[in-house]
């Protein structure tokens, strides 16, 4: 066997460098929060969805307008000083959302876009040529619904969420921010009217489609809180509604209102309320202050240790061979040597006799290997041979190496004759 090294210095360095690069890549993937199943494009109403009811188009529109847009999967994103856009699902807990909005009063502005549509994946009964046109995340909108939990929000956020279905001869017109146009459907969601709210968008009947929370004039919210806006009908902001240029301009005006006429250039779309939250872990925390300093020191120490490992004094010591050789023969020899050193020869007889009994019983075609059955079968096959039980008893009673070897040889002779 060659005593040369397994890897050259360059090969070892390449292995270490490659492993370190893979480790860094793993940390980056975990910290990025992206999911390998398509980034969350599951057909629901949130910022990662490309279906009709999603807001991926709004994200791209705001980025094109110069906003710094982030899609957050971390609970820490709810504490951003930028504009926070919430897209709560239909089964939202009003108490939890109300507590979040209260915290946001002292942090930054918030825009809440309410859900509207029941969305389904393309049904399997569609013709193949139609089904093949559907891209990942596309959905079929079935029906709109009003929500109950907005009325359960704490003051001053609470309002009634209502629905109106226009007749075929009625136009779904809207106006606000000096703009006007048509909604994509005749099913309209709107809010109840309150003095502590300010309307921003209206339909043809004067219903409020979007509002800004003002609070009572003698309250702390009216004096100090950051603005909270609600968009009751999301067909201004979702991918369905953004197909119209005027509706896109209206949602941009709504975002400008929420960012204090563009004074805030950063926007965070929350995904944790939609089930895409990711908890903090040690890998991501290790690269954030105040732990970043300790991590850098550890990496520097690893570099020093690696450099020192490649600067050893002389070649690595190598012996003449392994201390314990591999293979069945060496295993038997090592076991025998251990018994010889311990001088426990009396322990060999009984196990070897049992092993010989199983082997001889197999040769005789016996299901059991008790000595009586073996002796009876052996008397029929080899009537002139010494019985098995007598040979086994002689082996079990032997205590000297020569006697053990002689008795074991007698059992092996009997096996050979069979």
User: What six digits make up the tokens of 195?
Assistant: 């003095």
Could you read off the pLDDT of 253-288 as tens digits, one per residue? 999 999 999 899 999 999 999 887 655 566 667 777
- Selected residue with higher pLDDT from 1 and 306: 306
User: What six digits make up the tokens of 309?
Assistant: 């490992």
- Region 235-246: mean pLDDT is 94
Identify which of 85, 147, 150, 119 has the alpha carbon closest to the alpha carbon of residue 240: 119
Identify which of 64, 15, 13 has the alpha carbon closest to the alpha carbon of residue 307: 13
DSSP H stretches of helix in 230-370: 245-258, 282-285, 292-309, 328-342, 349-364
Per-residue pLDDT, 75 = 86
Q: Reduce the DSSP state of residue 69 to 3 states and report it.
A: strand
User: What six digits make up the tokens of 72?
Assistant: 């957050």
User: Does residue 156 have a cis bond before it (omega within 30 degrees)?
Assistant: yes
Per-residue pLDDT, 2 = 46
Q: Reduce the DSSP state of residue 324 to 3 states and report it.
A: coil
- Selected residue with higher pLDDT from 317 and 407: 407
Buried b (16+ CB within 10 A) or exposed e, 119-136: beeeeeeeeeeeeeeeee
Instruction: Label residue 285 left, alpha or beta by phi (over 0 means left) and psi (-120 to 50 means alpha).
Output: alpha
Residues forming beta bridges with residue 179, ordered by sequence position: 176
pLDDT at 233 over 70: yes
Could you read off the pLDDT of 349-408 as tens digits, one per residue? 788 888 888 888 888 778 777 888 887 878 888 888 888 888 888 878 887 888 888 888
Task: Give the mean pLDDT of the chain.
Answer: 84
Could you read off the pLDDT of 158-189 as tens digits, one per residue? 999 999 999 988 999 999 999 999 999 999 99
Per-residue pLDDT, 337 = 78
CA of residue 371 relative to chain centroid, distance: 62
Identify which of 225, 227, 179 has the alpha carbon closest to the alpha carbon of residue 202: 179
pLDDT at 324 over 70: no
Asked whether the beta carbons of 139 and 119 are under 8 A apart, the reply is yes
0.85 exceeded by pTM: no
Per-residue pLDDT, 280 = 58
| Residue 49 burial (C-beta neighbours within 10 Å; 0-12, 13-18, 19+) | buried
Q: What is the number of other CB atoms lying within 10 angstroms of the CB of residue 44?
A: 21
What is each CA distance from 15 to 6, 18, 24, 62, in whole angstroms?
A: 13, 5, 14, 44
Q: What is the number of other CB atoms lying within 10 angstroms of the CB of residue 26?
A: 11
DSSP type of residue 114: P
User: What is Dmax (Cα atoms) for the chain?
Assistant: 120
Residue percentage of the chain with pLDDT more than 90? 42
Asked whether the beta carbons of 239 and 120 are under 8 A apart, the reply is no
Per-residue pLDDT, 279 = 56
Question: Could you tell me which residues come within 8 angstroms of residue 108 by beta carbon, excluding any fewer than 6 positions away?
Answer: 80, 81, 82, 83, 84, 226, 264
Could you read off the pLDDT of 286-298 as tens digits, one per residue? 777 788 888 889 8
Could you read off the pLDDT of 63-122 as tens digits, one per residue? 999 999 999 888 888 999 999 999 999 999 999 999 999 999 999 999 999 999 988 877
User: What six digits make up the tokens of 318?
Assistant: 């190598």
* Sign of the torsion formed by the C-alpha atoms of 183, 189, 192 and 198: negative
DSSP type of residue 168: T
């Amino acid at each position: 066997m060659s005593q040369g090294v397994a890897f050259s210095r360059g090969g070892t360095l390449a292995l270490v460098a490659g492993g370190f690069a893979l480790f860094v890549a793993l940390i980056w993937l975990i910290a990025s929060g992206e999911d390998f199943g398509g980034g969350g494009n599951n057909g629901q109403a949130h910022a990662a969805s490309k279906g009709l009811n999603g807001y991926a188009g709004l994200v791209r529109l705001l980025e094109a307008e110069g906003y710094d847009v982030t899609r957050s999967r971390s609970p820490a994103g709810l504490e951003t000083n930028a504009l926070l856009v919430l897209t709560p699902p239909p089964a939202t807990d009003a108490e939890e959302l109300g507590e979040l909005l209260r915290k946001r009063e002292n942090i930054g502005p918030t825009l809440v876009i309410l859900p509207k549509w029941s969305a389904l994946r393309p049904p399997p009964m569609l013709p193949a040529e139609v089904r093949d046109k559907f891209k990942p995340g596309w959905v079929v909108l079935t029906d709109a619904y009003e929500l109950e939990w907005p009325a359960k929000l704490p003051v001053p956020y609470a309002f009634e969420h209502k629905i109106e279905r226009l007749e075929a001869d009625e136009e779904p017109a809207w106006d606000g921010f000096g703009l006007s146009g048509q909604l994509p459907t005749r099913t309209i969601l709107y809010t109840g009217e309150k003095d502590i709210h300010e309307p921003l968008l209206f339909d043809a009947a004067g219903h409020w489609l979007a509002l800004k929370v003002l609070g009572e004039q003698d309250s702390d919210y009216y004096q100090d809180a950051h603005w909270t806006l609600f968009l009751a009908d999301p067909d201004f902001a979702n991918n369905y509604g953004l197909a119209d240029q005027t509706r896109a301009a209206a949602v941009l005006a709504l975002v400008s209102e929420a960012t204090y006429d563009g004074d805030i250039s950063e926007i965070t779309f929350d995904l944790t309320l939609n089930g895409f939250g990711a908890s903090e872990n040690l890998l991501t925390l290790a690269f954030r202050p105040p732990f970043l300093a300790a991590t850098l020191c550890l990496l520097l120490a690893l570099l020093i240790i690696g450099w020192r490992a490649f600067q050893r004094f002389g070649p690595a010591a190598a012996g003449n061979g392994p201390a314990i050789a591999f293979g069945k023969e060496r295993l038997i020899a090592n076991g025998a040597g251990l018994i010889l050193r311990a001088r426990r020869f009396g322990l060999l007889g009984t196990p070897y006799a049992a092993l010989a009994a199983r082997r001889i019983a197999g040769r005789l075609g016996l299901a059991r290997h008790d000595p009586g059955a073996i002796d009876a079968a052996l008397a029929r096959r080899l009537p002139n041979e010494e019985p098995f039980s007598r040979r086994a008893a002689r082996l079990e009673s032997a205590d000297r190496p020569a006697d053990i070897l002689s008795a074991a040889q007698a059992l092996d002779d009997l096996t050979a004759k069979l």
